[in-house]
A and B are shown apart, each in its own frame.
Chain A
Amino acid sequence: MLRKIRTILAAVFFVLITLLFLDFTGTLHHWLSWMAKIQFLPAVMALNLVVVIALVLLTLIFGRIYCSVICPLGVFQDILARLRRKKNKYSYSKEVRWLRYPMLVVFIIAGVAGIGSLFQLLAPYSSYGRIATMLFQPLWKMGNNLLAVLAERADSYAFYTVDTWMRSLPVFIIAAITLVVLVILAWRGGRTYCNTICPVGTILSFFARFSWFKIHFDTDKCKNCSLCSKNCKAACIDFKTHTVDYSRCVVCGNCIDSCKFGALHYSRPSRNTSSSSSSPIDTSKRSFLLASALVSTAALAQKKEKLMDGGLAELEDKVAPERQTPLTPPGSLSFQNLSTRCTGCQLCVSECPNQVLRPSSDLMHLMQPTMSYEHGYCRPECNRCSQVCPAGAIKPVDKDEKTSIQIGHAVWIKKNCVPITDGVECGNCARHCPSGAIEMVPLDESNEESPMVPAINEAACIGCGACEYVCPSRPFSAIYVEGHEVHRKI
């Protein structure tokens, strides 16, 4: 019974949160963004005390059901483990203390010291978010695009084509390696990841030891058949001593179902027993960390070449300018705020409909979002990223508020400007500026006939990037947006 309830709840949670990541149409986040907000680490980062206390209480009462139901990475591992159809595939092993607690310490230090990339690498929800955004969403989009092609043939507007592009190669590789490691760990040992590496698992384990309800043995009924140990994905049941390691038990209920003698119960136990032990080193965990660190320095993203019609001028792809200060979305308050709060879950990246947000390639902020305007700009009617962020790294802003938040300012690069290079009239930046912050003026103020070039009112510019996006100069725009460390209200 416990197992059935757990499985149904987990399936619902997992499917919905995955849909939240996959959906690019902006319809689901109204209904589902709370699912990201009840995740443990994002709630901690957002200082969302209500959620944190609720989760701690939940664990104090029921044990680590968070890991079995709410955490998408945990459920994902159960799915992976299920793919191995072998029966009685697990066995009891001791707690890997020497790795488990140091990992937590490393994680906390990384968080406090602001080593965002290491912090996000270990955070479970973020790991799942990266896999969903980098690996699942492109597949989802390709499926959609296939339907869009069919819809086009049928003259229907039910589906439309969306661009799939490599937002960041390093993050893609990290997501892929994480997935491979998870597959191996889950295949071999069920919840090894959750009980040795995951910092949330370790934190919750402190509370789970004292939980009100627990799995416990009825020693009178137990025949020492070992089925419970062999079916425990957390490897925490020692049938010989009739003990359960509550720091590792995720309350999945598999043991209760597997016991033929009804010797296991999930209830308030009459007497307290706890056990702890240590186990041999699992080298795969080491290689996971090592590999991830190596990949962080991997090559930069490659751009796709597009084929043109014969009658159309070739368009060179735009290249992202080297911004001295990175751009962060309205609502993130400051670069500092974003980098300390963000858990790198990629939810904002997967939501962004204008192809502006992508994970940063900067090593210190590797998986955190940054903005660039080659494929589109931060459109005034959109505030999706601020609505979905569960960690308080991007605070909610409404659409009107957004038009007065200055996240950066436009900078003119004279040598690229087409009125000067091509001798034509342009003014496309001025025409498309939603803030009216650009006016065209003669290059030589004493000569009305000289080329008209943009004059930027930096005080009125909000840094949305419309000018940069529509600038005809390729591959480098003649006007680009430089980020502001701290966002301002204007």
Chain B
Amino acid sequence: MKKNISRRSFLKLFGAGSVATAATLAGCKDANKAGSQAKEEYKNQVEPPVGQMTYRVNPKTKDKVSILGYGMMRLPTKVDNSDEFDQDMINKQIDYALEHGLNYIDTSPVYCQGKSERCTGIALSRHKRSEYFVATKLSNFNHDYWTFEKSKEMYQNSMKELQVSYIDYYLLHAVGGSMEEFNGRYVDNGIMDYLLKEREAGRIRNLGFSFHGKQEVFDEVLALDEKYHWDFVQIELNYLDWDYANEISKSNVDASYLYAELQKKGIPAVIMEPLLGGRLANLPQYLMTELKSHDPERSVASWAFRYAGTPEGVLTVLSGMTYMEHLKDNLLSYCPLKPLTEEEMRYLDKEIAQKIVGLENIPCNDCKYCMPCPYGVDIPAIFVHYNKCKNEGSLPMGIGDSDYRKHRRQYLISLDRVVARDRQPDHCIQCGQCEPHCPQSIHIPRELAKIDEMIESLKRYPDGEMKNG
């Protein structure tokens, strides 16, 4: 405005006619409008709109569930102390999410070293109970928790930590290793019968399970629907796992199969790992560019979210949004969801997925289920670093790599930066305690040994000679 006034006085000073003055003022108004429009465009590009969220309806309870769900597995930590979670930031992000129509929040007693439920409870207790659906799990992995009492205690403690009197969505956590395990954890101890009663009593509004693992276990547990009436099932779905999950790891099942089976029974699917722990947002530059050139205005991650949200049988898509920027970007993808066309879907799960499989990354999603390694190895950090170097094309390749010296130096220095020396692969003793915990069925000790061998060779041959000698 100041500018207008000075212009006005400027014109007056030079004694311009009243007509001219009026014309100039009108011109100013136009410029003003264009300015605010430009401002609006800046905002629209990064600020999701309110009241535009896409919802899906749970066929059984008629819950109107937002297509974006908040996963509480990757909570933000304090900037000055990475050992402590930043409750203020968690509150702020949950407030923002609810304000924009998100209403499904997913946690577990084991997430974030056991602190996730409490942080979630604190954040949610500041909102009306009717404003959100909360999901948590019976995460009785440890053999000590296979008893009825311990499992029941875990269930009841969840309600206490979450500060609620009922749970909207309750899951048997990570079913899929074997039927013996399923029976041991849930059936033989009688906890399943107890949970069914809790559902009748209304303290569990929806009962389901989350799945990672073998197809025969999935089939068998899903068949138990006759007996247990699964209200929902949580599966891993993204454009890489749609057709390639089984190719990447023999003990995983393609998402296309899982989703089709659920559709047959009319069971809604909750989606986890839509972005594979960020891996689908951290693609090599050439793939990034390829996706960007299809839609330069939207993020690379938005493709993965639109992909996971497009199938109609999907109730909600969970995302572990550590930063406000993740949250805003995902809200932009879902407020409202612009479904992908059939053609776009196939472009992602065929063309792009095939190229990603070709990268031969270690399929680690940094979920940290394998941690803590009793011997101190920082497993996910090592894998994430390896994948990053591989995708950047800076993995030293030995003979024939003209940049060997540079890449060698980069690899060793950057590894030291992210992983302390006594937590590096040479300290893995191959005890294998981590392996059963990995939802991606990665042969962790074997992969660590391979990286260790590579590092040893890098250290030994600064010039790259005798790589194979």
Contact = CB atoms under 8 A, between A and B. Distances in A.
Interface residues of B, number: 34
A408 B13 CA distance: 96
Given A312-B378, A425-B431, A157 B409 contact: yes
Nearest to B420: A306
Given A381-B461, A424-B433, A309 B417 contact: no
Contacts of B368: 311
B421 to A, nearest CB: 8
B349 interface: no
Contact of B460 (A160, A307, A381, A425): A381
Given A312-B376, A425-B430, A427-B430, A381 B462 contact: yes
B315 to A, nearest CB: 30
Nearest to A380: B460
Nearest to A149: B417
Given A311-B371, A313-B375, A313-B376, A472 B417 contact: no
A309 B418 CA distance: 12
B429 interface: yes
Contacts of B414: 157
Given A157-B413, A161-B417, A379 B371 contact: no
Contact of A425 (B416, B423, B432, B462): B432
Contacts of B416: 160-161
Interface in A449-483: 470, 472
B416 to A, nearest CB: 7
A472 B430 contact: no
B459 A309 contact: no
Contacts of A426: 429-431
A418 interface: yes
Interface string A429-441: 0011000000000
Interface string A302-324: 00001111111111000000000
B460 A427 contact: no
A428 interface: yes
A470 B426 CA distance: 7
A152 interface: yes
Contact of B431 (A306, A379, A380, A424): A424
A432 B425 CA distance: 11
Interface in B396-410: 409-410
A463 B367 CA distance: 40
A472 B430 CA distance: 11
Contacts of B82: 309-310
Interface string B362-377: 0000001001111110
Contact of A315 (B113, B422, B430, B459): B422
Interface string B67-87: 000000000000000110000
Nearest to A159: B413
Interface in B74-103: 82-83
Contacts of B460: 379-381
Contacts of B423: 312, 315
Contact of B427 (A308, A381, A470): A470
Interface string B122-163: 000000000000000000000000000000000000000000
A42 B147 CA distance: 73
A431 B429 CA distance: 9
B113 A311 contact: yes
Given A310-B83, A312-B423, A426-B429, A152 B417 contact: yes
A418 B117 CA distance: 35
Contacts of B83: 307-310
A431 B82 CA distance: 34
A313 B373 contact: yes
A380 B456 CA distance: 10
A308 B422 CA distance: 12
A472 B371 contact: no
Nearest to A470: B426
Contacts of B459: 379, 381
Contacts of B431: 418, 422, 424-426
A381 B464 CA distance: 13
Contacts of A161: 416-417
Contact of B429 (A308, A312, A379, A418): A418
A312 B377 CA distance: 8
Nearest to B418: A152
Contacts of B421: 375-376
B400 to A, nearest CB: 21
A125 B433 CA distance: 54
A404 B421 CA distance: 27
Given A152-B417, A380-B460, A381-B460, A432 B374 contact: no
Nearest to B432: A425
Contact of A313 (B374, B426, B432, B461): B374
Contacts of B428: 428
A161 B433 CA distance: 32
Interface string A407-430: 000000000001000101111100
A268 to B, nearest CB: 54
A312 B418 CA distance: 13
A42 B376 CA distance: 44
Contacts of A315: 376, 422-423
Contacts of A431: 430, 449
B461 A428 contact: no
A375 to B, nearest CB: 8
A160 B413 CA distance: 6
B212 to A, nearest CB: 20
A311 B370 CA distance: 10
Interface in A243-263: none
A387 to B, nearest CB: 15
Nearest to A155: B414
Contacts of B371: 311-312
Nearest to A375: B421
A143 B417 CA distance: 17
Nearest to B375: A472
A426 B427 CA distance: 10
A377 to B, nearest CB: 10
Contacts of A425: 429-432
Nearest to B82: A309
Nearest to A423: B431
Nearest to B77: A310
Interface in B439-469: 449, 459-462
A63 to B, nearest CB: 46
Nearest to A418: B429
A315 B373 CA distance: 11
B364 to A, nearest CB: 14
B190 to A, nearest CB: 31
A425 B430 CA distance: 7
Interface string A203-244: 000000000000000000000000000000000000000000
Nearest to B460: A381
Contacts of B378: 312
B413 A428 contact: no
A163 to B, nearest CB: 8
A38 to B, nearest CB: 29
A426 B372 CA distance: 17
A313 B429 contact: no
Nearest to B115: A310
Given A315-B423, A428-B428, 6 more contacts: A379-B460, A381-B460, A422-B431, A431-B449, A432-B426, A470-B427
4 A-B pairs closest in CB distance: A424-B431, A160-B413, A426-B429, A313-B372
23 contacts: A160-B413, A309-B82, A309-B83, A311-B368, A312-B372, A312-B373, A313-B373, A313-B376, A315-B376, A375-B421, A379-B460, A380-B460, A381-B460, A418-B431, A422-B374, A424-B432, A425-B429, A425-B430, A426-B430, A427-B429, A428-B426, A428-B427, A428-B428
Interface of B: 82-83, 113, 368, 371-376, 378, 409-410, 413-414, 416-417, 420-423, 426-433, 449, 459-462
Interface of A: 152, 157, 160-161, 306-315, 375-376, 379-381, 418, 422, 424-428, 431-432, 470, 472
